[in-house]
Amino acid sequence: AVVEHTFNVGNLSISQLCQPDRIITAVNGQLPGPTIQASEGDTVVVHLVNESPYSMTIHWHGIFQRGSQWADGPAMITQCPVRPGGNYTYRFNVTRQEGTLWWHAHISFLRATVYGALVILPRSGYPFPKPDREEILILGEWWNANVVDLQEMAFLTGFPARQADAYTINGKPGDLYNCSAPNQTHRFEVRQNETCLLRIINAALNTPLFFKVANHSFTVVAADACYTTPYRTDVVVIAPGQTVDALMAADAAVGGRYYMAASPYDSGVPSGPPFSMTVATAVLGYAGGAPNTTTPPALPRMPEFRDTDTAHGFLSNLTALVLPGRPTVPLAVDTRMFVTVGMGVADCRPEQTLCNRSSTVFASSMNNASFVAPGNTSMLQAHYGNVTSGVYTRDFPDTPPVVFDYTSDASDNATMQYTTKSTKVKTLRYNQTVEMVLQNTRLIAKESHPMHLHGFNFFVLAQSFGNYDEATAAPQFNLVNPQERNTIAVPTGGWAVIRFVADNPGIWYMHCHFEAHLDLGLGMVFEVQDGPTPDTSVPSPPGDLPLCT
Ligand code: C2O
């Protein structure tokens, strides 16, 4: 079947948190934008009509885009942006995956308000009892400011944009903020003894979140649209870009009301500017009985905001549900990479075009290369036409230029490195198996970077704290049922090992899903060469592909 939508992107006026008539950019006048629901095997067609004042692209986060590489969406990576007044039709198949994914703008900070759910229903039923009800819960951030201005300010000053003014659940901050209003709380009603499938998405720009529901617990059944071994927990931890599907038994009292809450996990050491400790809430209500309107709903006890034990416990305990027909871990590795991930500083002097200050600015990097997207053509166009000169170079390093103590708190300044801005790709032959150690650094600050890979899922073989040591880590790799993901929150001051098969030709962005870090260059790109047949090659571009000129 074909699932078809038109996305009119334009201005939407919203009044919340004492901000009358704030103008945001939104799809079809909705925040969150429309849900796309398809079944595994369907074709999705989305006509993007850009009526906003900003250039726009949409990314379908977690969709592989095999054979539809031109529909992936990151600006200047796989397409030039759709200019104000322009349009573009995204067309792709949802094959070989099911579960909860999402879509978002992939240009500037516009995904702050341009996002929505993308649900792929299974063809042959869930591998768990069918839930009575499903509820999409998109966690997000809200700024009392224009997010494009915020991004431009951050880029000009070289300092990350300020914290959000509120966290949100389905676009609404809930009851616990100054200026909360009754229509700014998401409400969700259940019947007693139902089982609900919660499809939880973290669409926040810069914040990993804890999620809880007062008096209720969960069984996690999927993450990033990959089924997991059922995992019992009363707290869900979810980094920007990730999704979690969790079953919740509605086993509380008829007429009861309970807060669902999202609060920040701050993995930063040392901590930056005063962190927003606020909590977004939604209300879970039980049908029947006399609604109690006098006492407020019960609030869950949220983890402390630096509770790395809880975050790491949740994120590292998940394992894949081994199902017939699912990909298994490739055991032979063709390409090994060891890649540092973190913050640093860029020296502006040799490259005045990239910053407007004569001194140093913050810059993020991978293996000391700070990624900057090309300006005149998309990388996929350059790759497809084989005219890459002046667009990108094929020298992304497999190892860091300097080996140092990556995570020690003491060696901060001694090992400080200056990064340079560049557009480097790592070229892979079709079908190569890649193993990548992602090593977070302690330059400037320790943080848990949520690293997202376009075009693929990867297996997470191991993750822990400190400097990676192959001799002790490799014997611990889970090669039996490792979780499969498209976004890995690399432990703060630690590392993760991922493995994937490059069976999807094209140009694939890998980057930190903190928008502030992406903007500062925390990314790199894989160029995967064509396979032997037309259907293992990048197809010709669609006729309406926007061009940069
Ligand atoms: Cu969800 Cu490149 O992003």
Strand ranges for 203-334 from DSSP E: 209-213, 218-223, 226-233, 236-238, 243-249, 257-264, 280-286
Q: Are residues 208 and 157 in the same domain?
A: yes
102 alpha carbon – ligand 1 mean position (Å) = 10
Q: How confident is the model at residue 155 (pLDDT cuts 50, 70, 90)?
A: confident
Ligand 1: centre distance to CA 453 (Å) = 8
pLDDT tens-digit readout, 11-62: 999 999 988 999 999 999 999 999 999 999 999 999 999 999 999 999 999 9
| Pair 260, 356 in one domain | no
Assess whether the C-beta atom of 74 lies below 6 angstroms from ligand 1: yes
How many angstroms is it from 19 CA to the middle of ligand 1? 29
Counting from 1 in the atom list of ligand 1, the atom nearest the Cα of 61 is 1
Dump pLDDT digits (tens) for 240-279.
999 999 999 999 999 999 999 999 999 887 655 445 678 9
Residue 472 φ/ψ, nearest 5 degrees = -90, -30
**How close is the Cα of 190 to the center of ligand 1, in Å?**
33
Do both 36 and 169 map to the same domain?
no
Within 13 Å and on the Cβ side, how many CA atoms surround 285? 16
Could you tell me if the CB of 383 is within 6 A of ligand 1?
no
Q: Percent of the chain having pLDDT more than 90?
A: 80
CA distances from 409 to 266, 361, 414, 415, 538 (A): 17, 21, 11, 11, 45
Same domain? For 115 and 142 the reply is no
542 is a domain residue: no
In-domain check, residue 158:
yes
Cα(241) to centroid(ligand 1), Å: 7
164 and 313 share a domain?
A: yes
What distance in angstroms lies between residue 181's CA and the mean position of ligand 1's atoms? 32
**Residue 132 and residue 101 share a domain:** no
For residue 399, which amino acid is it?
Answer: T
Atom of ligand 1 nearest to the CA of 62: 1
Decide whether any atom of ligand 1 lies within 6 Å of the 61 Cβ: yes
**Of 97, 126, 155, the domain-final residue:** 126
Nearest atom within ligand 1 for CA of residue 104: 1
pLDDT in tens, 65-110: 999 999 999 999 999 999 999 999 999 999 999 999 999 999 999 9
**Tokens of residue 55, six digits:** 């250039």
Counts of helices then strands in the chain (DSSP H, E): 5, 32
Rg of the chain over Cα atoms, rounded to whole angstroms, equals 22
pTM score, two decimals? 0.96
Q: State the distance from the centre of ligand 1 to the C-alpha of 77, rounded, in angstroms.
A: 11
> Which atom number of ligand 1 is nearest to the Cα of residue 511?
2
Q: 241: Cβ below 6 Å to ligand 1? A: yes
The percent of residues in the chain predicted with pLDDT above 70, rounded, is: 93
CA 364 → CA 90, 399, 489, distances in Å? Answer: 31, 16, 16
When pLDDT is averaged across residues 366-377 and rounded to a whole number, the result is 94
Quote the ligand 1 centre to 456 CA distance (angstroms): 12
How much distance in Å is there from the Cα of 74 to the middle of ligand 1? 7
Q: Which two tokens stand for residue 381?
A: 């166009």
Range of the domain at 344: 335-536
Q: Is the CB of 140 under 6 A from ligand 1?
A: no
In a domain, 43, yes or no: yes
Return the CATH number at 352. 2.60.40.420
| CA atoms within 13 A of residue 352's CA, in its CB half-sphere | 1
The residue whose CA has the least distance to atom 1 of ligand 1 is: 61
* 58 CA distance to ligand 1 middle (Å): 9
* Domain end among 126, 142, 161: 126
What atom in ligand 1 is closest to the CA of residue 487? Answer: 1
Tell me: the pLDDT tens digits for 189-218? 999 999 999 999 999 999 999 999 999 999
| Distant-in-sequence contacts of 313-316, Cβ < 8 A, 24+ apart | 314/233, 314/235, 314/236, 314/237, 315/237, 315/239, 315/463, 315/489, 315/491, 316/463, 316/464, 316/491
Q: 106 in ligand 1 pocket by Cβ < 6 Å?
A: yes
Verify whether ligand 1 is closer than 6 Å to residue 454 (CB atom).
yes
Report the atom number in ligand 1 closest to the C-alpha of 454.
2
C-alpha 290/C-alpha 249 separation (Å) is: 21
How crowded is the C-beta side of 254, counted as CA atoms within 13 Å? Answer: 3
My answer on whether 95 and 167 are in the same domain is no
482-523 per-position pLDDT tens digit: 999 999 999 999 999 999 999 999 999 999 999 989 988 999
Residues 243 and 274 both lie in one domain:
yes
- CA torsion through residues 481, 100, 264, 299, sign: negative
Residue 207 DSSP SS3: coil
The residue whose CA has the least distance to atom 3 of ligand 1 is 61
Ligand 1 pocket, residue 517 CB under 6 Å? no
Q: Please say whether the dihedral angle defined by the alpha carbons of residues 457, 463, 467 and 469, taken in this order, is positive or negative.
A: negative
Beta carbon of 499 within 6 Å of any ligand 1 atom: no
In a domain, 68, yes or no: yes
**Ligand 1: distance of its center to the CA of 5 in Å?**
21
Question: Residue 111 CA: which ligand 1 atom is closest?
Answer: 1
- Of 527 and 442, more confident: 527
Look at residue 461 and tell me if it is in a domain. yes
Please check whether residues 270 and 139 belong to one and the same domain.
yes
Q: Is residue 378 part of a domain?
A: yes
How many Å apart are CA 450 and CA 513, to the nearest integer?
5
**Domain final position from 79, 102, 126:** 126
Q: Which of 363, 366, 441, 437 is nearest to 401 (CA)?
A: 366
Q: Is the CB of 111 under 6 A from ligand 1?
A: no
Q: Is the same domain home to 117 and 144?
A: no
Q: What is the position in ligand 1's atom list of the atom closest to the CA of 73? A: 2
Cβ 455 under 6 angstroms from ligand 1: no
Rounded distance from Cα 299 to ligand 1 centre (Å): 32
Q: State the distance from the centre of ligand 1 to the C-alpha of 301, rounded, in angstroms.
A: 31
CA distance 313 to 327: 25
User: Is the pLDDT reported for residue 356 higher than 90?
Assistant: no
Rounded distance from Cα 130 to ligand 1 centre (Å): 30
Question: Residue 247 pairs with which residues in a beta bridge?
Answer: 197, 219
In 429-543, DSSP assigns E strands to: 433-440, 450-453, 458-465, 484-485, 487-489, 494-501, 506-512, 523-528
- The reported pLDDT for the residue numbered 348 is 57
Phi, psi of 71 (to 5 degrees): -105, 5
Ligand 1 atom index nearest CA of 241: 1
Do 314 and 425 lie in one domain? The reply is no
ipTM for the assembly: 0.99
In-domain check, residue 327: no
Residues 12, 150: one domain?
no
d(Cα 148, Cα 165) in Å, to the nearest integer?
Answer: 15
The answer to whether position 292 is within a domain reads: yes
Counting the structural domains of the chain, the total is: 3
